[in-house]
């Protein structure tokens, strides 16, 4: 879980967004780090801004 959280922080996701999603959707952060990187890549390809509050919900949708 920690590698995914650190990766999300490196992507510009705020700590408050991470905490909120970790409490509400904890399984999101249990994926393999390689899978999480792929999810982020795919959401980036869709054009969702990483600083948008819609970025983490987009990752949830992609997975």
Q: Summarize pLDDT for 8-54 with one digit per residue, the tens.
A: 999 999 999 999 999 999 998 999 999 999 999 999 999 999 999 99
Provide the percentage of residues in the chain whose pLDDT is more than 90.
Answer: 87
- Contact status, residue 44 vs residue 50, Cβ threshold 8 Å: yes
Phi-psi region of 52 (alpha: psi -120 to 50; beta: other; left: phi over 0): beta
């Amino acid at each position: 879980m920690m590698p995914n959280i650190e990766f999300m922080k490196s992507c510009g996701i705020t700590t408050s967004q991470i905490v909120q999603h970790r409490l509400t959707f904890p399984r999101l952060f249990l994926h393999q780090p390689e899978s999480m990187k792929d999810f982020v890549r795919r959401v980036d390809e869709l054009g969702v801004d990483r600083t948008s509050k819609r970025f983490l919900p987009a990752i949830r949708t992609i997975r």
